[in-house]
Structure 1
């Protein structure tokens, strides 16, 4: 006969040996005992230490990412530029191949790429021709302005005589001659930079061709590295992120074009030379929100000051302020409001960080990168998602970036996409 276990009095069962030990209560002074030791760690210090090492881990990971991005910048920047260009050209290629049934997707890809290169080349050619044509006028005006400065230096409050003024000019020429070696070295560096830019441009073009032609296949290949249980959600997040990039690229080009045309027309009416190149500078400056407008405005105001005096410079400043108000209160809410919803601080800080880390390319790519990450992370972290099937999210439709848009009758990925 086997012996029976004695049950505790009162009908209660003893503690389960396999159960986890209950959490120790805090002491009156806010400390938590540490395994019976006489040393105790304040609860606030415990929480602060946990937060601190997690922050240090995140900072270390970010430092590694920045280091790798800086090391591979020669490859990374052309690829990112190709992705941005693909967000502009891929919808047109898929539209052509889906509307024109007899046209293969490869031919549609070739048409949009050749057309895009022709437009960019034509714009650059026109800008260079306008700059060369307006340069003699600007030179003569600069010469006249320099003569006025000479007269003001001699007859103004400085009161320099001809001998002193000649001495200042000789010192300037001497310093210029001494820096000829530096100028030659800079010229050789510029030649190397041109070769590097040509190589990066060819890499970007090569990547762009395959992103437009084989973009869906490349995305499906990348999704293989995502665990199966979250693959659909990652697919939806990626599609929405690219759709937001499509909307942002389209909107920023429209806004930049309107800014350039308005400012260029105003500069021409004021009589500022090089109005077309300055309008092109304003166009490209619009791709860097806030900072780009300031830089292009300063250049336009300086050209107006040198060529026409203080009156023209003030008129240019008023013109550019009007253009910026038009962009900020009408164009951006109308075109960009549905594509990106970022706080102004979330625009300025990434641009500043990108400028510090990677210079002009970093400032140019900061806002598109933040837009893509914002929409992708929002889709990943959203608890209830109205879209479950990734096929109901068209990455080529900017409306797909909005979570409330999930109408399969309107927004279905084409079969060849």
Structure 2
């Protein structure tokens, strides 16, 4: 190999590494925007089944997107408008009454009293409750900045979601064009299946969380547990988290019921959550998610851990339907590999040639 050829190869390799480095640095610089784009695309895919339902009834796609967008926005605004004032008030009362509840629990339980005296829990909780208003007031500017940034992020995700919902058919056609022409029908079918499964899974999870929140609120209100509304919202939000979310929500409610109420209410609440989890796992979830893909517990756990490590709670929520979509795409290939090879038809036996007899045989020999 000549020196000139070696030099050209070195220059090409260096330019390739430089290009890869610049691309990686660019992606890292715009990572927050990319996360927002991914979230918006995911929300658009999740709402696409509702849009197509209106389209099947003769509504144009632009009108259907507008209707779904206004409906979702109205639900969110109504939910926040009816929830935030009592939620803030009851959460403030809960934080303000922490020392009182802690003292009552200490008077009722000798074991807790010994633990509190050993580790100084009473003094720590009292100091935390006393300094919390000052911390909140001192960090008001930071809180306002965070709220304003969150509102801008929500607005950006909302606008991107609307654009993606309106142009989703064009995006799907563009993805299909990236595939060679011979494989485009199969690619289009795979994209349609993925969109259907992801949308069905997300809408189904939201419905299940709504069931969990409403039933928890009814039980908490019937038992007279204080702060029933924020606790019910806590259960609904944690129920979205795969595997451990329902347990975390139930544990929080039981702890609050034990601190603010009595042992009987806590036991009844614990029995309710255990019974509700069985109903949700074997009755509600199979009916709501009957059109989605079933995943094993190991796959759900690994997907949730991986998604949570990458994007936090949002990643944990998005990872499950993504893995389900991958399973949908991989299932035909796995089934094709497991099919037995076609059987070859049995070979026909050779036709015997009759030997000549008598004079004919002697003539042939001569």
The two structures have a TM-score, normalised by structure 1, of 0.63
1:321 paired residue number: 274
1:82 paired residue number: 40
Task: Pick one of 130, 148, 167 that aligns with 2:104.
Answer: 148
**2: CA distance, partners of 1:124 / 1:246:** 24
Contact 2:102 2:122 in 1 (8 A): no
2:340 paired residue number: none
**1: CA distance, partners of 2:328 / 2:267:** 41
Contact 2:254 2:270 in 1 (8 A): yes
**1: CA distance, partners of 2:193 / 2:111:** 66
2:71 paired residue number: 115
Pick which of 88-97 and 309-318 moved more: 88-97
Deviations for 1:362-388, whole angstroms, at most 9, x for unmatched residues? 22222122122222333566649xxxx
Matched, 1:369 2:325: no
Task: Pick one of 26, 47, 50 that aligns with 1:92.
Answer: 50
**2: CA distance, partners of 1:341 / 1:312:** 36
Aligned residues: 314
**2: CA distance, partners of 1:154 / 1:248:** 48
- Shift in CA distance, 179/225, structure 1 to aligned 2, threshold 3 Å: same
Using the TM superposition, give the Cα deviation of residue 358 of structure 1 relative to its aligned residue in structure 2, in angstroms: 2.5
Task: Pick one of 200, 215, 227 that aligns with 1:247.
Answer: 200
**2: CA distance, partners of 1:180 / 1:155:** 31
**1: CA distance, partners of 2:266 / 2:143:** 32
Please state which structure has a larger fraction of its residues in helix.
2
**1: CA distance, partners of 2:131 / 2:92:** 28
SS at match of 1:249: helix
Using the TM superposition, give the Cα deviation of residue 113 of structure 1 relative to its aligned residue in structure 2, in angstroms: 0.2
1:345 paired residue number: 298
Contact 1:248 1:336 in 2 (8 A): yes
**2: CA distance, partners of 1:340 / 1:67:** 37
**2: CA distance, partners of 1:318 / 1:273:** 18
The two structures have a TM-score, normalised by structure 2, of 0.71
Deviations for 1:181-219, whole angstroms, at most 9, x for unmatched residues? 998997665555434422321221122112221110111
**1: CA distance, partners of 2:221 / 2:125:** 35
**1: CA distance, partners of 2:246 / 2:25:** 30
SS at match of 1:112: helix
Correspondence 1:144-183 to 2 at 5 A: 144-149=100-105, 151=107, 158=114
**2: CA distance, partners of 1:153 / 1:380:** 61
**2: CA distance, partners of 1:318 / 1:272:** 15
Contact 1:70 1:358 in 2 (8 A): no
Correspondence 1:130-145 to 2 at 5 A: 130-135=86-91, 138=94, 142-145=98-101
